[in-house]
Amino acid sequence: MRKSILACVALTAALVLALSASAWADVAPAPGSQDIGQLATNQQSASSTATSTQTNPTNQAISVNILSPHAGTGDVTQSNTSAATSAAGNTNGTTQTAEQAGSGACCTGTQAIGQAASSSQEAGSQATSTQTNPTNQAISVNILSPGAGSGDVNQTNSSSATSSAGNTNGTTQTAAQAAGGCCGGVQGIGQEADNHQSAASLGTSVQTDPSNHAISVSILSPGAGSGDVNQSNSSSATSSAGNTNGTTQTAEQVAGGAPWVPCTACEPSPCATCHPASPTVQGIGQLAQNYQGAGSQATSTQTGASNVAGSFDLFGFKPREDHPLVPVMAGGDVSQSNSSSANSSAGNTNGTTQTAGQWAGGCCGAVQGIGQAAFNAQHAMSAATSTQWCPSNLAFGQLGALMQSNASAALSAAGNTNGTSQGAAQA
């Protein structure tokens, strides 16, 4: 079956090329013949690389209150961020339209249309983020300062790499032929659309020894306290690669008979006046080929992440109002988290629509042939790896609610989608 389709398409294409070769060679077409040849070639390549390296960034906020009752320190926000974002992509759109109309004579000539569109796209993207020894330190000391307080502490160390690569191609080919006359005539349409797409993406995030320290010390300071502490170390890598292609081929052929030239207009012997006095021949060949490859990889590595939150209260006992023997918590709520995540996705989408229609009238009969072939090859590969070594959360002292988490997550998805629609009608 496939061989027969290929043979049909090849024959039709050869016919179309033979008929249209004269036009490409600047040879004057024969009287009564119409030739159209369209060729579109696209080749695109895009590559992108982003690298972010951060080594030993340090934030230190130190607050000391001495002999300062009810002194207050504002919030402390500290962050070390290393981010790399890379994106590469190609977009192509090709539209080919050809129309041939009849002359209105009794005898039909030759009409030929050849359309070829080829697209090749390559996209590569790589993002790498490396963060080494980021440190946040917030230290609050209250001495002989009853009621002194410090605000919330937010500390963040983050390393993120985001990479994406993609290609988009759309090809639309439309050919229409209309020939009058009662007899004879040859109509040929050949359409070919090739698509090659390749996308590769790589995202890598490495975070080594991130640390957050929030220490509050109160000495001889009853009622002194510190606010909430939020500490987080995160490493994330996100990578995606994808290709999208859409091909639409439409061909229509109308020959002989009404409404252009009814047979009655060529009587009494319409077929005898035509050279050659042969039936109408109509041929349509449509070929669409799609090759797509997408690969994505995301890797996140977090090593030695640590969060430390502590609150010391020395000689500063302050009883609670409802429980005289229970001290008032000097520290607020503590939230600590270490996370490593890798997300990768790769996918291809293709849609092919082929439509062919032939209508032949006249008085000498007709020979009609339609060949449609659509080939699709798609490859998608995705990998995600998240590694977390020795994360630690440590909280001690008089603190409020405590939330600690260590999370390592890897998510990978790969998929292909293809839709092919072929429709042919002959009358």
Partner 1 sequence: MLVGATAMSATAPVARADLSAPQPVSVQVVITPGDAGDAAAGTGAAAQTGPVNVNVQVVIDSPGAVTGPVTQTNSATGGMVAPTTPPTPPTPGTPVVQTPPTPPTPATPPTPPTPATFAASPAPRTVSAASTGGTAPVAPAPKQTSHAPRHRAPHRSAPAPAHVAAANTTAAPLITTASAIAPRPATTARTARPAAPRATRRAPARRPTGPPAHRLADFTQEGAAAGGGGTALFLALVLAFLLAGPAGPGEPVAALRQRARAAMGRRLEHPG
* Closer CB to partner 1, 114 or 149, in the complex: 149
* Closer CB to partner 1, 153 or 360, in the complex: 153
With beta carbons less than 8 A apart as the criterion, state whether 290 and 354 touch.
no
Q: Which residues contact 303 (CB under 8 A, 6 or more apart)?
A: 207, 208, 209, 388, 389, 390
* Closer CB to partner 1, 261 or 395, in the complex: 395
- Minimum distance of partner 1 from residue 3's CB (angstroms): 24
Helix (H) or strand (E) holding 420: strand 402-426
One-letter amino acid for residue 259 of the chain: P
- Minimum distance of partner 1 from residue 103's CB (angstroms): 32
* Closer CB to partner 1, 107 or 117, in the complex: 117
- Minimum distance of partner 1 from residue 95's CB (angstroms): 7
Dihedral sign of CA atoms 121, 343, 384, 394 in order: positive
- Minimum distance of partner 1 from residue 49's CB (angstroms): 6
Long-range contacts of 58-61 (CB under 8 A, 24+ apart): 58/134, 58/135, 58/136, 58/137, 59/135, 59/136, 59/137, 59/155, 60/137, 60/138, 60/139, 61/137, 61/138, 61/139
Going from the C-alpha of 403 to that of each of 55, 134, 217, the distances in angstroms are 29, 22, 21
- Minimum distance of partner 1 from residue 247's CB (angstroms): 6
Neighbours of 39 (CB within 10 A): 12
- Minimum distance of partner 1 from residue 73's CB (angstroms): 5
* Closer CB to partner 1, 148 or 182, in the complex: 148
User: How, if at all, do strands 58-66 and 135-143 pair?
Assistant: parallel
